[in-house]
A and B are shown apart, each in its own frame.
Chain A
Amino acid sequence: KQEVAQIPAALSVPEGENLVLNCSFTDSAIYNLQWFRQDPGKGLTSLLLIQSSQREQTSGRLNASLDKSSGRSTLYIAASQPGDSATYLCAVRPVSGGNKLVFGAGTILRVKS
Chain B
Amino acid sequence: KAGVTQTPRYLIKTRGQQVTLSCSPISGHRSVSWYQQTPGQGLQFLFEYFSETQRNKGNFPGRFSGRQFSNSRSEMNVSTLELGDSALYLCASSLGLAGALNTEAFFGQGTRLTVV
Seen from chain A, the residues whose Cβ lies within 8 Å of a Cβ on chain B are 31-32, 34, 36, 41-46, 49, 51, 89, 91, 93, 95, 97-106
Q: A49-B104, A103-B42 are in contact. Are A97 and B90 (CB under 8 A)?
A: no
A105 pairs with B98, CB closer than 8 A: no
Partner of A99, one of B43, B55, B109: B55
B112 pairs with A41, CB closer than 8 A: yes
Q: A99-B31, A99-B98, A102-B45 are in contact. Are A43 and B56 (CB under 8 A)?
A: no
A44 pairs with B90, CB closer than 8 A: yes
Q: Nearest Cβ in chain B — how far from A69, in angstroms?
A: 20
* Chain A residues with CB below 8 A from B35, complex form: 101, 103
**B 50-66 binary contact with A (CB < 8 Å = 1; else 0):** 10000110100000000
CB-based nearest A residue for B112? A41
Q: A42-B110, A99-B94, A100-B58 are in contact. Are A51 and B45 (CB under 8 A)?
A: no
* Chain A residues with CB below 8 A from B33, complex form: 99-101
Partner of B103, one of A32, A36, A103, A104: A32
Q: Nearest Cβ in chain A — how far from B36, in angstroms?
A: 11
B108 pairs with A97, CB closer than 8 A: no
A100 pairs with B48, CB closer than 8 A: yes
* Chain B residues with CB below 8 A from A51, complex form: 101
**B 1-35 binary contact with A (CB < 8 Å = 1; else 0):** 00010100000000000000000000000010101
A99 to B55, CA, bound (A): 9
A101 to B56, CA, bound (A): 11
* Chain A residues with CB below 8 A from B88, complex form: 41
A103 pairs with B43, CB closer than 8 A: yes
* Chain A residues with CB below 8 A from B99, complex form: 31, 95
A99 pairs with B90, CB closer than 8 A: no
Partner of B107, one of A36, A98, A102: A36
